Amino acid sequence: MTDKQNIKTSSGYFGRLFGASISTRIAFASVCIVMLIALLIGSVSHIFIRSYIMERSAVAMEHNAAFARQRLEYSLNAIIHDVSSMSGNLILSNALVDSQGRDIYILPFLKGYKMPEGITFALTLCDFQGMPIASGTKDNPPPYKKPEMLKQTLSKGLPYTEITGDPPNPNLLIAYPV
């Protein structure tokens, strides 16, 4: 058996490769180096692109959150302005005094009132004890007898706000003195 046949049978492909000519070995080493460089470039570009995408996603989420915050702030300011101007309305003041004929004019007013931004709401006019006098809702509204609300709106003449309800469906309660 010759040396070349011995290399073929004992070492397989790598034995032939390393036992072959110098040009074959240089070609193999060159291919390995090129593959290693390609792997390195691919890995580095993957890391940079991934970090860039993560950074851009964070910036986009911050922008969306800021936009949502501004929109919510605008809506709340519009609601507060609306309710504030409504609390000084003479129709509401007269409805507190006129117990006989108030249903004729106050119920259509409360039911037909539209809030800005298409916000769903319920308007209820209450007496000094927090008992509903008239409401724009179909259902009978609950009494609003929270002591802190009555104290702030009646004694101090200041508006009262509170977030009520469960987290998936919160409600904003705004009470203004009339």
Q: Can you give the residue ranges of every domain in the chain?
A: 1-75, 88-175
Neighbours of 161 (CB within 10 A): 15
Considering 31-40, 78-87, 159-168, the range whose residues carry the highest mean pLDDT is 31-40
C-alpha closest to that of 177 among 153, 150, 144: 153
CA dihedral (133, 114, 109, 150) positive or negative: positive
CA dihedral (12, 16, 19, 23) positive or negative: negative
The model's confidence at residue 3, banded by pLDDT at 50, 70 and 90, is low
Q: Is the pLDDT of residue 120 over 80?
A: no
pTM over 0.85: no
Q: CB–CB of 134/125 below 8 Å?
A: yes
What does the pLDDT read at residue 153?
A: 86
Neighbours of 175 (CB within 10 A): 22
DSSP 141: P
Averaged over 6-13, what is the pLDDT?
A: 53
pLDDT over 90 for what percent of the chain? Answer: 24
What does the pLDDT read at residue 13?
A: 67
Phi-psi region of 122 (alpha: psi -120 to 50; beta: other; left: phi over 0): beta
Q: Which residues pair with 174 in a beta bridge?
A: 161
